């Protein structure tokens, strides 16, 4: 899936943590839409990473 840099199984309230790297926020929406099309995925939570300089 384009933009996905890593996907890791985790314990706790979530099943997976997926790291995505894309050019802009519109592209994030496109990747999330693709993730929602995967059978068995019924909900996602999106968090945006911010770099401080």
Single pTM value for the model: 0.78
- Asked whether the predicted pLDDT for residue 1 surpasses 90, the reply is no
Is the per-residue pLDDT at 11 higher than 90? yes
Domain of 15 in residue numbering reads as 1-53
> How many structural domains is the chain composed of?
1
**pLDDT, tens only, 28-47:** 999 999 999 999 999 999 99
Residue 18 and residue 7 in contact, taking contact as beta carbons nearer than 8 Å:
yes
- List the Cα angle 3/21/48 in 5-degree steps: 125
């Amino acid at each position: 899936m384009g933009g996905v840099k890593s996907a890791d199984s985790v314990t706790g309230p979530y099943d997976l943590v997926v790291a995505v790297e894309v050019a802009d926020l519109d592209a994030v929406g496109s990747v999330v839409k693709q993730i929602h099309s995967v059978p068995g995925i019924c909900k996602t939570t999106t968090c945006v990473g911010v770099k401080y300089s």
